[in-house]
Amino acid sequence: MALLFNTRLSYLLRKVKDLRCLTPRRHRMKEKWAATRVKHPPTTLALQHFDATYSVQLGPLWPSVRAALLSERKYGALLNHFSHDAILTDLEAQGCRDFVHDTDTQCQPCSEQEAEVRFEEKSDIVDQQLSPLHLSPNIKCLVFPRGNITRFKPAKPDMCGFLGYYLMDAASVLPCLALDVHEGHSVLDLCAAPGGKTLALLQTQSIGFLCVNDVSVSRTMRLKKVLHSYIPKQLLTNEKLRITSFDGTQWGEMERNTFDRVLVDVPCTTDRHSLMEDDNNIFSKHRTGERRNLPNLQLELLLAGIEAARPGGEIIYSTCSLSQIQNMSVVEQAIHLARENYGIQLQVVDLRPLTHIFRKTFHFAPDLHVGEMVIPHLAANFGPIYMCKLRRLT
């Protein structure tokens, strides 16, 4: 009898798909999904925004760039010259190569005729100056070959406690190479955290004095920890290095006409992070105002960097975004406002020699009339990185 009852009960439960239909309406409760599940997560909002914007800006390139952005990124290993371990040999044995100095993969310099044609194409829009390319012999960044998605192992400390390499987007090294630091130069890194580009600059072993700044105190503290994990204490003295947490937009008022080189790696939409991580995402709804104000903040930071550079000094402006509004538009506005408001004449330095040498490692966006940009590609999934070099004439 009990067996027959259980059989009938099981049959009835299978027939009833939703037991709420047996509950009086006044006692039913709505599912509390809103407290645990975001209806429109920031990553989804970012993808919708990029689809609408970059499909127009990049045209037929956007589908491949989109696929790369949504895939696992590739890293480079910035070699730490202050480590005592034989890191270079070990990484080369794994199949890595130093893309900065691996002459086997470098393209031959373009012909003079090609250089003149391409230079004229850019010169029609903005005054640009071709500049000879000088790469620091001390900056080494190792990458796995194209199409190889092998991950680097975490760096281990040597007998002195220094880590052998720093993992970062290899394209992020390009602004440091383009800055062209010479022996004894004073350098300002205006928006330095988390510290990868600062480490790359210190690897040159040419800087006379380095000023490192980030508006966030917590990020500055993390940057200090990074430096102490890679750089000997005797190179981090007050005579050689200054670390601050000031508002970078006000730097021109504090130290004007001071630095030989200025790196302005501004806050941006960080396109890859915005598509992959919901935490600390600029596309979160409570950060809408902050995101819309980014171009204004970027412009103010670049103008402050321009003021901080001495006449004859050079400035690198960089982002990790594909956005034309955050890239070329900011540079063009800064050139105009620097001339109109401060009487500062600027010249855009053509970075084509740099991109020509490294085009076997990175994919560069075609036909940019101001600056250069690494665009992600599945075979070489670095970037995005935009960079533009300015020389202060007055």
- Catalytic site positions: 320
Report the alpha-carbon distance of residue 82 to residue 135 in Å, rounded. 19
Q: Nearest Cα to 386, choosing from 262, 271, 280, 283?
A: 271
Phi first, then psi, for residue 47 (nearest 5°) are -65, -40
Report the alpha-carbon distance of residue 200 to residue 135 in Å, rounded. 12
- Residue 383 has, within 13 A of its CA and on its CB side, a CA count of 27
Residues linked to residue 97 through DSSP beta bridges, in sequence order: 143
Residues linked to residue 107 through DSSP beta bridges, in sequence order: none
Q: Which residue has the tokens 């040498």?
A: 357
Q: Which SS3 state, helix, strand or coil, does residue 312 take?
A: strand
Q: Which SS3 state, helix, strand or coil, does residue 185 take?
A: strand
Cα-Cα-Cα-Cα dihedral sign, residues 214, 217, 219, 221: positive
Angle at 238 between CA 232 and CA 240, to 5 degrees: 65
Q: Which two tokens stand for residue 187?
A: 């350098």
Which residues have a Cβ under 8 Å from the Cβ of 221 and sit 6 or more positions away?
Answer: none
Which residues have a Cβ under 8 Å from the Cβ of 109 and sit 6 or more positions away?
Answer: 353, 356
Q: Is 81 exposed, middle or buried (0-12, 13-18, 19+ CB in 10 A)?
A: middle
Query: To which H or E segment does residue 229 belong?
Result: helix 217-230
Report the alpha-carbon distance of residue 323 to residue 375 in Å, rounded. 11
Report the alpha-carbon distance of residue 157 to residue 140 in Å, rounded. 18
In angstroms and rounded to an integer, the radius of gyration of the C-alpha atoms of the chain is: 26
Q: Which residue has the tokens 């076997």?
A: 360
Report the alpha-carbon distance of residue 39 to residue 33 in Å, rounded. 9
3-state helix, strand, coil in the chain (%, to 5): 40, 20, 40
